[in-house]
Structure 1
Amino acid sequence: MGPQRIVCLTEEPTETLYALGEQDRIVGISGFTVRPPQARKEKPKVSAFTSAKIGEILKLQPDLAIGFSDIQADIAAELVRHGVEVWISNHRSVDGIVDYVRRLGALVGAAERANAYADTLQRGLDDVRAQAARLPRRPTVYFEEWDEPQITGIRWVSELIGIAGGDDVFPEMAKESLAKHRILADGSEVVRRAPDIILGSWCGKKFRPDRVAARPGWDAIPAVRDGELHEIKSPLILQPGPAALTDGVQAIAAIIQRWAGRHR
């Protein structure tokens, strides 16, 4: 049976529950939700990422609220004080996302469907990895999550770059779960590490390759010299859910495959 009235404080539980055919349980969603598109039309928007309309959520009489990470700790605490059961997941890796799908499915009594869906996601990743293994050369990749200050990619993004056939130039920073610990103290370090490709996904605003290319000294970076600056839309890659494991990694893989075709 499981919870019947779920509020999703971020996008990934919404996308997952729709994929499992359990969308009727959802009574409220995050205002940042874009996947699946019908969720925005069907469900009331009751939260952002760091804030929520607590009163509106309580009116929905949820028996479970689902959120993500320490950033939503204050929202979670407020809901708990009002008697709402809350699950805050904190997965940061590709394996963690796959496991999240399984756990969420089990939570709503759809374990069998969730396991099948998770297996499908894993097979898709295996296919991307197999395709990448045939590349004649692996490019180095700089992923930028924000521009002011410059923030490098989180762990699942770094892992997806690897699966797609590239090598993250800041793998040591990807291990840091908090964005504040992935701030580049000196942008010239990107110049020194000389990525072949620059991927930008500025959460909430459009990536501007021209601004990146105009940074002092960045004209020496191979990616800038060769015009290899690309946007990955944030809903595809910055949510630790199915989107990143499907359209997100496919978008990265397509860029890397095109790069490889020009650098045989």
Structure 2
Amino acid sequence: MSTDAFPQRIVCLTEEPTEVLYALGEEHRIVGISGFTVRPARARKEKPKVSAFTSAKIGEILKLQPDLVIGFSDMQADIARDLIRAGVEVWISNHRSVDGILAYIRRLGAMVGAGAKAEAYAQTAERHIAQIRAAAAALPKHPRVYFEEWDEPLITGIQWVAELVRIAGGEDVFPRQSGESLAKHRILADPADVVHAAPEVIFGSWCGKRFRPEHVAARPGWDAIPAVRTGDVLEIKSPIILQPGPAALFDGLSELHRHIAAWAAR
């Protein structure tokens, strides 16, 4: 089949399509990326940055003459609307789970004529997940884990994060909230709920700013939390866990498991 059947000029409004296309060796198709892209590092040097997350330089995108723009979630609905009105083809993915990320890799690969490479890449991710899951199952103890996505207000981890915590060997203390796709539905109205949940490990990943363990430990009443008493209040860098793409399945999962295994070893 002619390569002309597949998109030749792609703008990626978030990091995960950029990371996938580079991993598949299809980065030559990308003509613009998100300013929040950090993976792979070379993308920031090679591709023009034309969007944030909830805003984009529509005029700059149109100058690039894209034949496909890829975004993520309802948060980018307004950008998608403006581009569609301008005659641009747009694909907005809305996956929120580990299985969804794997399906996303396969789907994106098929869209650019790299289905076989995408299948191999997805299978590599699945093997990594299986290896971590097996190692986690062998741990002598499994800690109760609180994952904090934001601090003001307190927002718990989204679905793929909670799933990765469980795969890594932890027990998510707020499983009901993790099933909510919107952040506003994962807000903890009362910080005392975390105290009552008594997590043994606290992971923090504040999107857009550095996690401050000392601020977490200083919250009223939180000195009673086991994780605070033992110093197991740890940062997971947001680029490797809060993007629903390969980074979460590889580096994010490995980092979660490394900390959980160290806790279990003690």
State the TM bucket, normalised to the shorter chain: over 0.9
Which one-letter code corresponds to 1:241 in the other structure? Answer: G
CA distance in 1, matches of 2:153, 2:86: 36
Query: In the alignment, does 2:111 pair up with 1:107?
Result: yes
Which one-letter code corresponds to 1:123 in the other structure? Answer: R
CA distance in 1, matches of 2:85, 2:10: 17
Query: In the alignment, does 2:120 pair up with 1:119?
Result: no
Query: In the alignment, does 2:217 pair up with 1:213?
Result: yes
CA distance in 2, matches of 1:86, 1:186: 40
Query: In the alignment, does 2:257 pair up with 1:253?
Result: yes
CA distance in 1, matches of 2:77, 2:184: 16
CA offsets 1:166-194 (integer angstroms, 9 cap, x no match): 01100100000000110110010000000
Query: In the alignment, does 2:92 pair up with 1:92?
Result: no
CA offsets 1:6-44 (integer angstroms, 9 cap, x no match): 000000000000000000000000000000000000000
CA distance in 2, matches of 1:170, 1:10: 27
Shift >4 Å, 4+ stretches:
none
CA distance in 2, matches of 1:138, 1:103: 34
Aligned-residue sequence identity (percent) comes to 73
Structure 2 residues without counterparts, runs of 5 or longer = none
Q: Does the residue aligned with 2:70 lie in a helix, a strand or coil?
A: strand
* Structure 2 residue aligned with 1:151: 155
- CA-based RMSD: 0.4
Structure 2 length as normaliser, TM-score?
0.98
* Structure 1 residue aligned with 2:176: 172
CA distance in 1, matches of 2:187, 2:47: 35
2:67 to 36, 45, 63: 63
Structure 1 length as normaliser, TM-score?
0.99
Which one-letter code corresponds to 2:110 in the other structure? Answer: A
CA distance in 2, matches of 1:131, 1:13: 29
Q: Does the residue aligned with 1:109 lie in a helix, a strand or coil?
A: coil
* Structure 2 residue aligned with 1:48: 52
Which one-letter code corresponds to 2:163 in the other structure? Answer: E
Which one-letter code corresponds to 1:93 in the other structure? Answer: S
**How many equivalent residue pairs?**
262
Which one-letter code corresponds to 2:165 in the other structure? Answer: I
CA distance in 1, matches of 2:133, 2:246: 17
CA apart distance, 1:204: 0.4
CA distance in 1, matches of 2:91, 2:60: 19
Which one-letter code corresponds to 1:121 in the other structure? Answer: A
* Structure 2 residue aligned with 1:139: 143
CA offsets 1:221-261 (integer angstroms, 9 cap, x no match): 00000000000000000000000000000000000010001
Structure 1 residues without counterparts, runs of 5 or longer = none
CA distance in 2, matches of 1:131, 1:18: 29
CA distance in 1, matches of 2:50, 2:183: 24
CA apart distance, 1:4: 0.3
Q: Does the residue aligned with 2:195 lie in a helix, a strand or coil?
A: helix
Q: Does the residue aligned with 1:28 lie in a helix, a strand or coil?
A: strand
CA distance in 2, matches of 1:12, 1:29: 10
Q: Does the residue aligned with 1:66 lie in a helix, a strand or coil?
A: strand
Q: How does 1:5-24 map to 2 (within 5 A)?
A: 5-24=9-28
CA offsets 1:23-69 (integer angstroms, 9 cap, x no match): 00000000000000000000000000000000000000000000000
